[in-house]
A and B are shown apart, each in its own frame.
Chain A
Amino acid sequence: MTTATFEPVLTKIVDLPDSHTLSVYKKHDGYEALKIALGKTPDEIIDIVKRSGLRGRGGAGFPAGTKWGFVPKSTDKPKYLCVNADESEPGAFKDRLICRKDPHQLLEGTLIAAYAIGASRAYIYIRGEFAEECEILDRAIEEARHAGLIGKNIMGSKFSCEVTMYLGAGAYICGEETGLIQSIEGKRGWPRLKPPFPALVGLFNCPTVVNNVETLACVPHIVKRGWEWFAAIGPERNTGPKLFGLSGHVARPGVYEAPMGTPLRVLIDEFGGGVPGGRPVKAVIPGGASCPVLRGDEIDVPMDFDSLTRAGSLFGTGTPVVMDDTVCMVRAAWITARFFAHESCGQCTPCREGTGWLQRILWKIETGEGTERDLGILLSITDNIEGNTICALGDAAAWPARGFAKKFQDEFLRHIREKRCPLDGGSLH
């Protein structure tokens, strides 16, 4: 399927008036998939999702059906579904669109997933800053409950499920699945040691699945249209439609739905309308702040998990940040490092101490005080953080710092040799 013939499904109704209401959602076959799902067994649903090839849209790209399959079938404990609506990755704003404009799509996916794993309660953990989206979702839950879509014996079936909103307090780390679980339990949002994995010991020590908003939004369409439809979109092992959140120096920033594997250049030029003023693309962070930066000459890459890994970066949440030639790469790296230093939970030594150190060195270089030795120390700190922490935040901080320093080594060295920022700080502040 090419971009030209691609028919958007996730964003089909988002531009309609009152798209967040049950009546508009139902008018467009809303909750039909739930009806179909309730007519199948949970194992059949898991199988369909497995076959569709749906990979988690939260960044790690773990196959959703496989994750569901890890939940033990025979257990006395209740099972939980946690919806990760803590979208906090700088550059990512795609889940927010769904929460805001099509909350029932998320609820339908949530209910199908809960049915598949045998959960009778789902928590939607939503980012603290999304207070308005939280209200919209709250109203949608109420509407669905009144319509018999949430609660006891949904659609007259034996399946009962409650959905509860949980508003976070705005910490990035609570988007990490075990940090999220801790937060719902009322504890510090500190990622847990794994194993045990949440599928066995999760929320309140019970089997738990944590899924991203967009992942769950894909589920009703897979159930309704069949796994073959989903699997036919995009490259092998990287299937389905995808929401791309385009930001930075593009004429038309926003959320665009396109097949997985759409080339980054197509996203920037065709969807985003290119760089304003016809300036050159200097760099692109392809999937949110934690992904290593690509140079302007590296953007002929298909936007999917495996292609970006091969390109030495990461697909992440699929939300490219475009930077033109007015942007200072040292400052961009510093801003990224500052974010991760601020958001490190402080638990593991390498991340707690390393992120703060990275930020200091980057600022030292940006302000013309840096030395070549500092650049070497910077790279060695990223090596010393990577892989040595409980969760991936350490990696998420190390990768972009290393990426900027290696991909734009000349610009870093110019800062050092000229003892100033050659772009006078550039257009970022």
Chain B
Amino acid sequence: MATVKLKVDGREVEVEKGTNLVDAGKMAGIFMPHFCYHPGLPVVGVCRICLCEIEGRPKLVAGCATPAEEGMNVITKSKAVRDARAAVMEFLLIHHPLDCPMCDKGGECTLQDYTIAMGAAHTRFSFKKNTWPEEDVGGKLILNKNRCILCMRCVNLCADVAGQDEIAVIARGEETYIGTVGGRKIENELAGNIADICPVGALTSVDFRFESRPWELHNVKTICTLCSKGCNTVAGFHPRRNKVLRVTARENMDVNQWWICDRGRGQFHSVHDVVRIATPLYRSRTKGAAARPVAWADAIAQVAGAIKDSIARQGADSVGVVSSAELSNEELFLAGRIFGPDGLGLSNFDFPERPQPPVVYPKFTIEGDKNPNTRGARLLGGTAGKRGRSVKEILTAAAEGRIGVLLFLRGGAPETFGDAALVARALDRAGLVVVMDFVASAVADLADWVLPGVSHFEKDGTYVNSQGRVQRARKVFTLRGDTREDWRLLQDLGSALGVLHETDPSAEMIFARIARTVPAFTGLSYSALGDRGAPLDTEAANVAVG
């Protein structure tokens, strides 16, 4: 790849040809302020805050719109540059409201940061500021034009990444504003990214509105588990309220670039704003009794006892396990050890696939495989695979009364598992139904036993995305209640069943065990995965899946 050498404030740096001066400066360790420039969007060069000097050129240039050239001497510390940037700051602030204390962006606002770094303490503007009313632009975002600095990131994100002309720049001069056209709304599923990249509080998230000051949040680097893409995210957790209050995109050029979809952005609602199962429950279906809490030790012992009893009396085919590719690698590995050939040796062991049509935007695709860990499930024995029976066959066997214990590793609506009528019959005719899940669902509500696991926000774990990339989801918080991380629960069950002879005290150590024993994971560890994950050993992975 062709490179050029240049100097930024005296620091020599070698960059790929075509790199702009803002990025070249970054590589040289010189920060160039920028509002409109975003590496994932077309360069517009309008905010002018990145103006810098190039030795030998009469005028200042916009760093974002100027490609680095061999031998260029870029100067950002001169008086001319300082003055020009201070001037741009002053211009941007003349109509900007002083509402930082009640602005959702306050604390993570580029304009606020730059004002502190290089703005004036007092305004010279002695006139009435232009004002605009606040506006809902499609249910997801609130538009406050008073705060807008017209960087056009929002317009370019919609146009370029989502391919939608839902918002536009309207009018001209100081009357210029960002707005929707002809009563349109911002409805594309990438709209939430606008709130992430808006450098001011002009377009803020309705969902996060007035929920918290950004600095109150404990930000945890994790991933989204709503599809097989595995977008990198940041979960913003509010310690006092013990809740995740927002999820934002985290850059990973190998996976999601800078973006996430709005489903992933709202995933935390399916953890907080649902009926959670807080303790193991037993309900005798045959007696039609109400569910009652049971102590963990009793619940594990009784479920394990029922499984062992069923195998002893009717053979291994009398136990069916509907696994789940929503679980982490660690959990699927344990499930494989417990129910696979080295454990109970079940043939009735498979997970439901959850395909949907993918949503394809010009520069972002929401994957169609709604399981976040299909590849992990196949590689780690979270299914009996070709040697075993499919979910449909397992449910059919149950519906025909041939299953003594039917264990679901995740609940859900009946349609999640296939034909609703078949699922209903299977639940009705199975001897004993056990569901492992953290949230109430149609299937969990019909179970004899419910063993409460936790959501991916509440445990450590890794997932293999559709590209074969292993990525970490980090534990963000613990909810009050008598729940158990699913990998602990599975270890408890495996021990009670007498098939798991060694247990680990952390997900990280289970992963280390996976790396030692499963060839596709060779060489990987939590520290090797880091924040951005790492690819599987693809050759080994292909051999394993066949």
Contact = CB atoms under 8 A, between A and B. Distances in A.
Interface of A: 171, 173, 188, 193, 341-350, 352-357, 360, 364, 374, 377, 383-384, 387-390
Given A346-B174, A352-B173, 8 more contacts: A344-B172, A347-B46, A348-B46, A349-B150, A350-B91, A352-B174, A353-B174, A354-B91
Given A193-B43, A387-B59, A171 B94 contact: no
Interface stretch (B1-9, B82-90, B392-400, B436-444): B82-90
A349 B47 contact: yes
Contacts of A377: 124
Contacts of B217: none
Contacts of B126: 364, 374
A349 B46 contact: yes
A348 B172 contact: no
Given A344-B173, A388-B60, A352 B150 contact: yes
B92 A353 contact: yes
B92 A357 contact: no
Contacts of B84: 384, 388
Given A352-B176, A355-B173, A356-B173, A384 B90 contact: yes
Contacts of B470: none
Interface string B142-161: 00000001100000000000
B172 A357 contact: no
A199 B176 CA distance: 30
Given A352-B150, A388-B84, A346 B48 contact: no
B62 to A, nearest CB: 7
A344 B174 contact: yes
Nearest first, the 9 A-B pairs at minimum CB distance are A346-B176, A384-B87, A353-B91, A356-B174, A344-B173, A346-B172, A193-B65, A347-B46, A193-B45
19 contacts: A173-B172, A188-B169, A193-B45, A193-B65, A344-B172, A345-B173, A346-B171, A346-B172, A346-B174, A349-B47, A352-B150, A352-B176, A353-B94, A356-B173, A357-B125, A364-B126, A384-B90, A384-B91, A388-B84
B88 A350 contact: yes
Interface in B20-44: 43-44
B172 A349 contact: no
Most-contacted residue by chain A among B47, B62, B92, B172 (CB, 10 A) = B172
B285 interface: no
B173 A387 contact: no
A341 B172 CA distance: 9
Contact of A357 (B44, B59, B94): B94
Contacts of B46: 347-349, 390
A384 to B, nearest CB: 3
Contact of A349 (B60, B88, B171): B88
Contacts of B149: 349
Interface in B87-131: 87-88, 90-92, 94-95, 124-127
Contacts of B47: 348-349
B175 interface: yes
Interface in B285-333: none
A218 to B, nearest CB: 29
Most-contacted residue by chain A among B65, B126, B149 (CB, 10 A) = B126
Contact of B51 (A347, A352, A383, A388): A388
A190 to B, nearest CB: 8
B169 A346 contact: yes
Contacts of A360: 127
A163 B14 CA distance: 48
Interface residues of B, number: 34
Nearest to A377: B124
Contact of B175 (A193, A346, A354, A364): A346
Contacts of A387: 59-60
Contacts of B91: 349-350, 352-354, 357, 384
Contacts of B175: 346
B65 A388 contact: no
Contacts of A374: 126
B87 A342 contact: no
Interface of A is mostly: helix
Contacts of B90: 384
A389 B44 CA distance: 12
Contacts of B127: 357, 360, 364
Contact of A350 (B45, B87, B125, B169): B87
A29 B237 CA distance: 82
Contacts of B62: 193, 390
Contacts of A348: 46-48
A352 B90 CA distance: 12
B174 A390 contact: no
A399 to B, nearest CB: 15
Contacts of A384: 83-84, 87, 90-91
Nearest to B87: A384
Nearest to B125: A357
B118 to A, nearest CB: 14
Contacts of A350: 48, 87-88, 91
A110 B246 CA distance: 60
A118 B295 CA distance: 87
A342 B127 CA distance: 18
A345 B174 CA distance: 9
A423 to B, nearest CB: 24
Nearest to A173: B172
Given A384-B91, A388-B87, A343 B48 contact: no
Contacts of A390: 45-46, 62
Nearest to A341: B173
Contacts of A357: 91, 94, 125, 127
Contact of A388 (B48, B125, B173): B48
Interface string B66-93: 0000000000000000011001101110
B48 A341 contact: no
Contacts of A346: 150, 169, 171-176
Contacts of A347: 44, 46, 150
A344 to B, nearest CB: 4
Given A346-B150, A350-B87, A353-B94, A389 B174 contact: no
Contacts of A171: 172
A59 B92 CA distance: 30
B154 to A, nearest CB: 15
Nearest to A360: B127
Contacts of B172: 171, 173, 343-346
Contacts of B94: 353, 357
Most-contacted residue by chain B among A193, A347, A384 (CB, 10 A) = A347
A205 to B, nearest CB: 14
A179 to B, nearest CB: 11
A374 B127 CA distance: 12
A355 B60 CA distance: 20
A343 B174 CA distance: 10
Given A348-B48, A350-B87, A343 B59 contact: no
Contacts of B49: 349
B50 to A, nearest CB: 11
Nearest to A354: B91
B142 to A, nearest CB: 22
A343 B62 CA distance: 23
A345 B150 CA distance: 12
B168 to A, nearest CB: 8
B45 A349 contact: no
Contacts of B173: 341-346, 352, 355-356
A388 B169 contact: no
A84 B60 CA distance: 28
B21 to A, nearest CB: 13
Contacts of B48: 348-350, 388-389
Given A193-B45, A193-B62, A355-B174, A349 B92 contact: yes
Contacts of B45: 193, 390
Most-contacted residue by chain B among A173, A344, A352, A356 (CB, 10 A) = A352
Contacts of B59: 387
A389 B125 CA distance: 21
